[in-house]
């Protein structure tokens, strides 16, 4: 475990090559999880990372973001109906998981969320969970059982494989099938300029740049890495708004002043003004500080390395280093009164006082979250839409503080965050 900011800098950034890989999955079975970008190592990661860089560009992200707005419309319609039916309690867990799934279905796969999509995602992302638990208790047994487990894991991605195989055939027949990540990856497979760019960047031969199976695997990154992180972050954001009415008012005022489009009878908000939403930026950073969904980062040494110039610590190839993100974010030396939810910590006049490498909500260095900008844009859009429509408030049933799930991967709650909701009416 390494928590010294200077050493963290060395591991994540300045000597990245010696610490380039992540902790491998606990079980040696081949699932689609083994082939998505976060799990790749060495040259495979280099190559795929370059491919992602062509997908996650500001221009591409801007093209896709209106689809997030469509998903918000659907949620707002559902919540309006509940308020109309005088049911003013929302279980954020259920609503926001559904919203996060709809955003993945629509922005990545070009379909809307359905019971089949939800079940397909559950099978895809949770097939290894029971094994993880057994692995913790009986690692050797699970190692020996790998072969027995493999057939069970093999069917976990059937829903997505069937859907994608069909969809890709359909799209191959048509020229342009809309703005989503599937289409962006498909365009790259067709594009010569992409091939030339990749070659000039690092002499990868201009053949088989991204085959169909690889492309399908990369699309699985979204349900694996984007689903829990988005729904949990949104849940904690609404929760803090409900507990802190002053912060909620201040944030809404900023949003209404800068980018509300309601006067134009437009249900969207003006995303071109996002840069001016300074308090929203600070609010989100504070949500990520207090509730970093990935509570630790991991790196595996790719070669023997000395950690820190004057520590005398030599680590060997394959050893694992953990970086305790949650503990850093809650260390009172870096964040005074860490339990206090205080977005002002991240306002421009204060952010300069934050010690580098003590804030790692999206990681750092070449292996930081590749979707950081897109994720933040989505979170901002959803929060803007919610705050222009509703007020959130604490109920007697709202659990304070939240009760966390004992989950080895991400910070999530075990008891639903139930909040009050009513229509916001402008005075």
CB of 111 to ligand HEM, least distance (A): 17
Contact present, 234 and 99 (Cβ < 8 Å): yes
- Is 287 an interacting residue with respect to ligand HEM (CB under 6 A)? no
Q: Quick one: which H or E segment has residue 392? A: strand 390-393
CB of 349 to ligand HEM, least distance (A): 25
Residue 394 CB-density burial (10 A; 0-12 exposed, 13-18 middle, 19+ buried) = middle
Report which DSSP code applies to 404. B
Q: What is the Cα 248 distance to its own chain's centre?
A: 23
CA distances from 167 to 38, 171, 177, 182, 305 (A): 25, 6, 10, 9, 47
Partners of residue 269 on adjacent β-strands: 260
Decide whether 75 or 293 has the Cβ nearer to ligand HEM. Answer: 293
CB of 193 to ligand HEM, least distance (A): 23
How many angstroms separate the CA atoms of 185 and 142, rounded? 36
Mark the segment that binds ligand HEM (CB under 6 A) among 152-160, 268-276, 342-350, 360-368. Answer: 360-368
Mark the segment that binds ligand HEM (CB under 6 A) among 1-9, 183-191, 209-217, 218-226. Answer: 218-226
| Of the candidate residues 251, 258, 371, 384, the single one contacting ligand HEM (CB under 6 A) | 371
- Is 390 an interacting residue with respect to ligand HEM (CB under 6 A)? no
| Of the candidate residues 258, 277, 375, 384, the single one contacting ligand HEM (CB under 6 A) | 375
Q: Kindly write out the interface string for residues 93-112 of this chain, putting x where it contacts ligand HEM by CB under 6 A and - elsewhere.
A: --------------------
- Is 341 an interacting residue with respect to ligand HEM (CB under 6 A)? no
> Measured at CB, which residue is nearest to ligand HEM?
363
Q: What is the Cα 171 distance to its own chain's centre?
A: 27
Q: Quick one: which H or E segment has residue 285? A: helix 278-290
Decide whether 41 or 155 has the Cβ nearer to ligand HEM. Answer: 41
The closest alpha carbon to 189, from 370, 57, 51, 50, belongs to 51
- Is 267 an interacting residue with respect to ligand HEM (CB under 6 A)? no
Residues of this chain, 226-255, that bind ligand HEM according to CB under 6 A: 226, 229-230, 233
- Is 220 an interacting residue with respect to ligand HEM (CB under 6 A)? no
Contact present, 98 and 230 (Cβ < 8 Å): no
Q: Kindly write out the interface string for residues 18-57 of this chain, putting x where it contacts ligand HEM by CB under 6 A and - elsewhere.
A: -------------------xx----------x--------
CA distances from 302 to 4, 11, 172, 299 (A): 21, 11, 40, 9
| Of the candidate residues 363, 395, 399, 404, the single one contacting ligand HEM (CB under 6 A) | 363
How many angstroms separate the CA atoms of 401 and 240, rounded? 10
Q: Which residues bind ligand HEM (CB under 6 A)?
A: 12, 37-38, 49, 221-222, 225-226, 229-230, 233, 288, 293-294, 297, 361-364, 367-371, 375
């Amino acid at each position: 475990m390494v928590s010294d900011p200077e050493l963290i800098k060395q591991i994540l950034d300045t000597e990245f090559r010696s610490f380039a890989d992540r902790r491998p999955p606990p079980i040696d079975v081949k699932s689609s999880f083994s082939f998505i970008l976060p799990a790749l190592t060495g040259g495979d990661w280099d190559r795929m990372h370059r491919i992602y860089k062509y997908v996650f560009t500001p221009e591409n992200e801007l093209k896709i973001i209106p689809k997030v707005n469509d998903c918000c419309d659907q949620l707002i319609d559902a919540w309006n109906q509940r308020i109309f039916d005088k049911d003013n309690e929302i279980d954020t867990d259920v609503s926001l998981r559904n919203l996060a799934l709809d955003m993945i279905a629509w922005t990545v796969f070009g379909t809307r969320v359905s019971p089949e999509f939800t079940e397909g995602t559950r099978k895809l992302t949770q097939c290894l969970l029971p094994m993880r638990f057994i692995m913790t208790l009986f690692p050797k047994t699970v190692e020996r059982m790998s072969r027995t487990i493999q057939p069970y894991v093999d069917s976990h991605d059937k829903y997505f494989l069937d859907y994608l195989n069909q969809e890709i055939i359909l799209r191959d027949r048509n020229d342009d099938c809309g703005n989503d990540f599937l289409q962006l990856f498909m365009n790259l497979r067709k594009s010569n300029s992409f091939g030339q760019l990749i070659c000039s960047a690092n002499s990868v031969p201009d053949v088989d740049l991204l085959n169909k199976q690889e492309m399908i695997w990369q699309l699985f990154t979204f349900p694996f890495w984007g689903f829990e992180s988005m729904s949990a972050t949104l849940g904690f954001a609404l929760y803090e708004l409900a507990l802190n009415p002053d912060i909620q008012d201040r944030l809404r005022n900023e949003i209404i002043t800068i980018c509300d489009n309601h006067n134009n009878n437009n249900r969207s908000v003006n995303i071109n003004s996002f840069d001016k939403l300074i308090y929203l930026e600070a609010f989100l950073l504070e949500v990520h500080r207090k509730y970093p969904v990935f509570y630790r980062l991991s790196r595996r040494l790719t070669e023997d390395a000395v950690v820190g110039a004057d520590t005398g610590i030599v680590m060997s190839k394959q050893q694992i280093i953990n970086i305790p993100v949650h503990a850093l974010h809650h260390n009172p030396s870096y964040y005074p009164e860490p339990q206090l939810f205080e977005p002002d910590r991240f306002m421009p006049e204060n952010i300069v006082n934050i010690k580098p490498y003590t804030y790692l909500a999206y990681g750092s260095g070449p292996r930081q979250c590749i979707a950081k900008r897109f994720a933040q844009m989505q979170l901002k859009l959803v929060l803007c839409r919610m705050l222009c429509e509703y007020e959130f408030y604490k109920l007697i049933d709202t659990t304070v503080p939240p009760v966390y799930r004992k989950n080895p991967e991400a910070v999530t709650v075990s008891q639903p965050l139930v909040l009050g909701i009513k229509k916001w009416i402008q005075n």
